[in-house]
Structure 1
Amino acid sequence: MQCFTKENLGRDLKNMGEERQENNLEVRAKIIKKAFHYAMKAHKNPEKPFVIRKRCLSSNVIFAFPGTWSTADWIPTETSTRHFGQAKVNLEVFPSLRSIGNDEAASVHDAFLRRFLLIVEKPKFQNEVEKALKRKKQIIFAGHSGGGPVAIYATVWLFEYLRSKKIQASSPFCLTFGSPLMADHIFGHAVRREKWSDCFIHFITRYDIIPRIMLAPPSYTEQILPEILPFFSKNSQNSTQTSLENDEFVTVVFENVMRNASSVASQAACKLMGSTNYLVDTISSFVELSPYRPFGTYVFCYGNKKVLTVRNPDAVLQLLIYSSQLSSRDEGSEVAQMSLSEHLAYKTKLDEIAGNQEIYCLDKFRELPLNSEECADSEAQTINTALNELGLSVRARLCLRAAREAENHKIANQKKIDTNRDNMEKAMTVLEGYRTSCETRRVGYYDSFKLQKYQEDFMANIKRLELAGMWDEIIEMLKRYELPDGFEGEDSWVELGTKYRRLVEPFDIANYYRNSLNADTQLYMKPGSRPKRYWYTQRWREHKENIPRGSSGESTFWADVEQLRIEMIANKTPFNSEKEKVLELEENLKAWYDATLVKKDVFLPETTLVKWWKTLPEQHRASSCIKELISS
């Protein structure tokens, strides 16, 4: 039975307690409650960008960020409301927040991002972080409500900082309470790829409206936020809470937010189930839906001291909607008021968690029963009870099943391509043998393949095409996000992709210029000419090794040689006009050769490179950095 005891929850919320008591739920509960305490303390000190809890005997430091009750801080004025207030993340600040192969930056809520950037640009924040790191403290970022997104950005920023500085330190943690959604699916994809996702834990209650509010269009949130934010501002400062007097207004707000959120969840569910419903596609084409999606671990606190944890982001999205749906119209007013009051009730919920002995993790259950009749064992009965208490209908459970199946489908896809690894390795071994054979004939494999004089040239082309088919299948899956999020960060695939690109791309370049495709289309390196399989594998390596984008030209220099040869010989462009490009190419070739990224066969006498190089002015060749490589 998947009932999580103190020890099991300790594993789920790893590294959040004192190291000497790493499996002690009570210690973790204290840290969580302390983080929430400081998050609420930050609310009461809005003039401070953050508050810190640091004690000499503690192994951690808590940075808590205040929420904001100003409408302007929730809805960016610079961004069109048609676009849900999102903007592409600044990759100079957050270089990992993108889809690597697809080269698409994450979109984030612009107003929340600006709040964080104002904090990080000031020296005090970085100074305090560096002090904590020097003292070997684990850093925990926390925020309630609008402070949650700031805590999230701070956590990602610290991960990026540690990586760029190559600092070995305990992973930072992020705890949010009633945080609104603030980023699209690419953000979550990137965080999971980097293996940071488990360090983000989001506590939400069953009816709290704020975690759902960003699923409504800005045109509507602009109308309601000026009414409900003052309510939160007033009650966050007081120990006793009041209700909004306009009961009808609150009910309408709740119903409209949930209606819009349901549209988002329904479209997502249709995609998960592979629906061919053209009505959904038609509506999506002219009704813009919110791009914001959950990520990390969500802890649903749903009453009676019950807690459900969920990691699958698609399942979280469905639960956000279905767990707060009304069972009847009669409870509309009551639930609507709860959607506001619960946003400030996390202290009570956390007190309940501290005394709770059973926490259920949805991702761990093998089967999700649709009803009590499908409960064949105690495990099924346990999760069925939890889902019943959350008010989940059969439709909701089908959506949760679809979310799980989508994840399983990604895993199955990777298993499928993993079985192709041996075939890829064998094909590349054949091409390595072809390369050696060409070298014994004193002609590089690039030129031999380009000339296509021998039977082995033809056979090499067959292997090139076989490999292209296998890699293109992978690229198509990546374009559709049909592989596990961590795939592009796996060392073994980055290494295999790099080996493939360095060995095989010269074949593609030779084929490109052999067939004069540059005359019909454009330069090889222009988008649309160079195959995506090489762009993707190049970006993998550059990201993994944290080197500048576009710096892995060791597999494409033949295209530079061909273009310079065409310009200077066929088009008779003067040497001085191309001198900078020539010098850059020579310097790169020397560096790549010294690093063993290109081999000696590149400089054989009959290669296109050497023949072209010998047409350069004698004065230049005499001082060239590669003259020894060519003459030796």
Structure 2
Amino acid sequence: MASLKVGENKEINTDLIQKACSLAVKAHNKSSQKSYILDLVKTGGSSYVIFAFPGYWSENDWYDGEPFGETKINLDLFPSLRSIGTDEHAKVNKAFQQIFVDKISRNQDFINEVKRAKNEKKQIVFTGHSTGGSVATLATIWFLEKYWRSESSDASAASPLCLTFGCPLTGNHIFSHALRREKWASFFIHFVMRYDIVPRIMLAPISSIKQEFQPILHFLNPKSTRASTNTPPEASNFYTNVMKNASSVASHAACSLMGNTNLLLETMTNFTALSPYKPFGTFVFCTGNRKLVILSNPDAVLQLLFFSSQLDNEAECPDVAQRSLQQHFSYGNELKDCYAVLLESLEKLPLSGDSTTTSSDIATINAALKDLGLSTRARLCLSAAGELEKRKIGNKNSIDLKKADIAMKYLQEYQLSCRHKGPGYYDAFKIHKTEEDFKANVQRLELAGIWDEIIEMLKRYDLPDAFEGEKEWIEFGTKYRRLVEPLDIANYYRHSKGVDTKAYMVMGSRPKRYRFTQRWLEHAQRLPAGSCGESCFWADVEELRIKTGGKEGFAPFQDKVLQLEEQAKKLINNGVLDKDVLMENSTFMVWWKKQPEPHKLASCINSIEGFTITSA
């Protein structure tokens, strides 16, 4: 096997995998003496720079604080690891993140070596065994954030690769979602032995394994004096407790996959703490007999982590518990001369190990699933994961078909008509006297219904993870927001809203359909949060109109008025805001002409091409 196919269009040189595994184990055996080791490798006609990270072996290096040791991601280091629309941070294992921050991100030698490899256009491979794999994961994301997504990124540079072996889970569902949205998930390949307990540990809270955990870590520590065949007496209890929690997590997730709406499902989570961690990237499950089962659906991987190491009967527990520890050291041998089976189209998996199909492909898949000990129930869960992904794609296709409905042609024509007839787009809709205004309102409401449906699907994660990162939809959302949100603001203030500090923006009245689409653009262009609020210009005008017209007058709000004028000038010059804002009877001009004469004479509004005070 010269290369390992890990996706439809992605293959990895097997010599590279072997060398990465060897270096990961070498770093592992050095424990934490060095924060990383580096090697230059040539194989398959290509040159690679491999960074390998060691594991860490105290309880505090795994669990820190919360029952599962999770914390919010550091967005200064990993700004992409969030849900864009909801603006919710991903969660990551706190201890793993801290190890990366302390030992890697501040390590100038490491940073210099990465820069050198990048400048020499060599492909960089980050690798690690055990918790070293979690550090390698964060190092890869750090590289992607710093060099791959930045404006200065060299498009010709080779993509990074992260290869982990027996790595514990590192982040939650948003962590996984964000990597798929950014199209980075394919850079991560995780190798997992069938019974290796380490990739399952984070599915258990520390309270359930605390008594056995440190002796197990001592056994796993390369510095320990463990005998090759002896496992600690705590192994059986440790294995049992981890797998009980894994069962709860997998069962709850399976119910969600299958659309179970029973309220008892949610009630259970109020009494039973479930792990927040979720797989991401491509997983390569090693069956133990030279077969590799490869899949990248994170929901299916979670199910497989449980079902592939499940006991057939209680009598197996001592033997499987021993294997669950011993296999953590078996990756180098297992990956030689392997046969790989790529699981795609999960909804079509054979549901019985006794299938008599004549298809050679199905027979091969069935044999691999049998080698992992997958029951009919397990296969149903994998199939449900495939059906969910298929349904998300179907939802996306349905939305795509509605593009014609949300092309906004009528509102564009209405905008042009208002510009020619006066008093302008915003004010014509706010006055709302003609049949055209009524039709525009009907169109606005129809569009709102479609976009609100999209936003609700995003909130439920019922669309493919890549949706919020798609250039076409970012552009479509921006066009919609700039065209339609002024009408929402006009409607809001037409009904005398905004009085007594009930502002469109301040009181949370702004619809999610505009907040989400604004964040899409800001994220895509790497702009600060709130910097693309141009569609809210009229809300700012209305609020200043109300405030400066009150008892306090102009003086207390002079700075905000100046800011608004600068914003108007910039938006008009950039073509984002139409010049009808400067029409004589527009809300803006009626308000602006009431300001003190010295202010008007010095205003930047006067420098807008074609505008003078006398012509206003």
Query: What is aligned with 2:340?
Result: 359
Task: Determine if the alignment matches structure 1 residue 626 to structure 2 residue 605.
Answer: yes
Give distance in 2, aligned partners of 1:198 and 1:434: 45
1:8-47 → structure 2 map (5 Å cutoff): 9=5, 14=10, 16=12, 28-45=13-30, 46-47=32-33
Task: Determine if the alignment matches structure 1 residue 327 to structure 2 residue 308.
Answer: no
Task: After superposing the two structures, state which structure 1 stretch, 340-349 or 516-525, moved more.
Answer: 516-525
1:473-622 → structure 2 map (5 Å cutoff): 473-519=453-499, 522-526=502-506, 528-569=508-549, 571-622=550-601
Structure 1 residue 457, shift from structure 2 partner: 0.7
Q: 1:152 aligns with which of 107, 126, 137?
A: 137
1:262–1:511 CA distance, 2 compared to 1 (3 A): same
Give distance in 1, aligned partners of 2:353 and 2:191: 28
Q: 1:368 aligns with which of 334, 337, 349?
A: 349
Give distance in 1, aligned partners of 2:466 and 2:371: 34
Query: What is aligned with 1:388?
Result: 370
Indicate the SS of the match to 1:517.
coil
Query: What is aligned with 2:210?
Result: 222
Task: After superposing the two structures, state which structure 1 stretch, 601-610 or 97-106, moved more.
Answer: 601-610
Contact (CA 8 Å) 1:243, 1:341: kept in 2 or not?
A: no
Structure 1 residue 223, shift from structure 2 partner: 2.6
Give distance in 2, aligned partners of 1:10 and 1:193: 19
Q: 1:198 aligns with which of 186, 205, 217?
A: 186
1:125–1:462 CA distance, 2 compared to 1 (3 A): same
What is the root-mean-square deviation of aligned Cα atoms in Å?
A: 1.9
Indicate the SS of the match to 1:59.
strand
Query: What is aligned with 1:250?
Result: 235
Structure 1 residue 365, shift from structure 2 partner: 5.9
Runs of 5+ unmatched residues, structure 2 = none
Contact (CA 8 Å) 1:52, 1:64: kept in 2 or not?
A: yes
Query: What is aligned with 2:80?
Result: 96
Q: Which digits, 9 at most, give the CA deviation of each residue in 1:244-288, with x for residues without a partner?
A: 242xx2111111110110000000000010113333221112211
Structure 1 residue 329, shift from structure 2 partner: 2.0
1:236–1:469 CA distance, 2 compared to 1 (3 A): farther
1:373–1:148 CA distance, 2 compared to 1 (3 A): closer
Query: What is aligned with 1:131?
Result: 116
Query: What is aligned with 2:35?
Result: 49
Task: Determine if the alignment matches structure 1 residue 73 to structure 2 residue 69.
Answer: no
Query: What is aligned with 1:21?
Result: none
Contact (CA 8 Å) 2:522, 2:529: kept in 1 or not?
A: yes
TM-score, with length taken from structure 1: 0.92
Indicate the SS of the match to 1:300.
strand
Q: 1:116 aligns with which of 87, 100, 103?
A: 100
Task: After superposing the two structures, state which structure 1 stretch, 342-351 or 405-414, moved more.
Answer: 342-351
Give distance in 2, aligned partners of 1:514 and 1:380: 64
Structure 1 residue 382, shift from structure 2 partner: 2.1
Give distance in 2, aligned partners of 1:456 and 1:608: 20
Indicate the SS of the match to 2:252.
helix
1:95–1:301 CA distance, 2 compared to 1 (3 A): same
Q: Which residue identity is paired with 2:366?
A: N
Give distance in 2, aligned partners of 1:520 and 1:222: 56
Contact (CA 8 Å) 1:140, 1:172: kept in 2 or not?
A: yes
Structure 1 residue 55, shift from structure 2 partner: 5.4
Contact (CA 8 Å) 1:213, 1:221: kept in 2 or not?
A: no
Structure 1 residue 366, shift from structure 2 partner: 6.3
Query: What is aligned with 2:331?
Result: 346
Indicate the SS of the match to 1:62.
strand
Contact (CA 8 Å) 1:88, 1:108: kept in 2 or not?
A: yes
Give distance in 2, aligned partners of 1:397 and 1:314: 13
Structure 1 residue 126, shift from structure 2 partner: 1.1
Contact (CA 8 Å) 1:538, 1:552: kept in 2 or not?
A: yes
Query: What is aligned with 1:167?
Result: 153
Give distance in 1, aligned partners of 2:341 and 2:355: 19
Query: What is aligned with 1:436?
Result: 416
Contact (CA 8 Å) 1:365, 1:383: kept in 2 or not?
A: no
Give distance in 2, aligned partners of 1:42 and 1:12: 32
Give distance in 2, aligned partners of 1:276 and 1:10: 35
TM-score, with length taken from structure 2: 0.94
Matched residues, number = 603
Give distance in 2, aligned partners of 1:517 and 1:142: 57
Give distance in 1, aligned partners of 2:182 and 2:225: 38
Query: What is aligned with 2:443?
Result: 463
Structure 1 residue 448, shift from structure 2 partner: 0.7
1:41–1:514 CA distance, 2 compared to 1 (3 A): same
Determine which structure has the larger helix proportion and give its number. Answer: 1
Indicate the SS of the match to 1:470.
helix
Task: Determine if the alignment matches structure 1 residue 449 to structure 2 residue 403.
Answer: no
Q: Which digits, 9 at most, give the CA deviation of each residue in 1:178-219, with x for residues without a partner?
A: 000010000010000000011000000000001001001121
Give distance in 1, aligned partners of 2:472 and 2:145: 23
Q: Which residue identity is paired with 1:131?
A: R
Q: Which residue identity is paired with 1:61?
A: V
Indicate the SS of the match to 2:531.
coil
Query: What is aligned with 1:241?
Result: 228
Give distance in 2, aligned partners of 1:448 and 1:154: 54
Q: Which residue identity is paired with 1:125?
A: F
Give distance in 1, aligned partners of 2:18 and 2:522: 41
Give distance in 2, aligned partners of 1:245 and 1:506: 68
Structure 1 residue 373, shift from structure 2 partner: 5.4
Contact (CA 8 Å) 2:218, 2:224: kept in 1 or not?
A: no
Indicate the SS of the match to 1:326.
coil
Contact (CA 8 Å) 1:86, 1:109: kept in 2 or not?
A: yes
Query: What is aligned with 2:172?
Result: 184
Give distance in 2, aligned partners of 1:403 and 1:258: 21
Indicate the SS of the match to 2:204.
coil
1:521–1:370 CA distance, 2 compared to 1 (3 A): farther
Give distance in 1, aligned partners of 2:9 and 2:398: 32
Contact (CA 8 Å) 2:35, 2:54: kept in 1 or not?
A: yes
Contact (CA 8 Å) 1:98, 1:190: kept in 2 or not?
A: yes
Query: What is aligned with 1:23?
Result: none
Q: Which digits, 9 at most, give the CA deviation of each residue in 1:37-73, with x for residues without a partner?
A: 1112212332211111125895210011110112221
Contact (CA 8 Å) 2:292, 2:340: kept in 1 or not?
A: yes
Contact (CA 8 Å) 2:29, 2:222: kept in 1 or not?
A: no
Contact (CA 8 Å) 1:251, 1:332: kept in 2 or not?
A: yes
Give distance in 1, aligned partners of 2:10 and 2:261: 41
Structure 1 residue 331, shift from structure 2 partner: 1.6
Contact (CA 8 Å) 1:375, 1:384: kept in 2 or not?
A: no
Q: Which residue identity is paired with 1:338?
A: R
